[in-house]
Amino acid sequence: MKPKFSAYTLVESLFVLGITAILLTLALSFQLRPPGQTVSGFENQFTAVFQKQRLQSQNTGKDVQLEFTKHRLVVDQESVPYPAGYSAQTEKIVVIKASGYVAPGHIIFEKGKEILKLIFQFGGGSYRFEKE
């Protein structure tokens, strides 16, 4: 008579570990994220859009307008939402000249008492973000 083993075999154990690893990988990749854009995400997206529009204005020899509305940046057909909960203090249009020049100025985004400033400096297209 053959003895009966009630333990798991090595193959069964590896199979269970493999499925567990796949489920954990999926769970970690679909972590809950806060709705809306983060500040760093907005900064990265703004950088990409700004550089693209600046190069386009220099290549075509035409001015480009960046329209900062209450809740998003609008350029041509592109729209970049502000970080979640932030809105522009005032609506403003920033012009990128054909030479790449951008007049010094600033845009203030508010979220309750938090303030995020986009500062255009020196007129040469340089800018920075400051969070208060």
Predicted TM-score of the model (pTM): 0.70
Q: Which of 8-12, 62-66, 94-98 has the lowest mean pLDDT?
A: 8-12
Task: Determine the pLDDT at residue 9.
Answer: 82
Q: How many CB atoms lie within 10 A of CB 35?
A: 7
Domains with residue ranges and CATH for the chain: 39-131 (3.55.40.10)
- Looking at residue 100, its pLDDT comes to 87
Amino acid identity, residue 18?
G
Cβ proximity of 53 and 66 under 8 Å: yes
Reported confidence tier of residue 1, pLDDT bands at 50, 70, 90: low
Measure the CA–CA gap between 53 and 65, rounded to whole angstroms: 9
- pLDDT of 132 reads 83
The residue among 62, 65, 58, 51 whose CA lies nearest residue 103 is: 65
pLDDT tens figures, 51-81: 999 999 999 999 999 999 999 999 988 888 9
* pLDDT at res. 89: 93
Q: What is the pLDDT of residue 71?
A: 92
Kindly tell me if the per-residue pLDDT of 37 is higher than 90. Answer: no
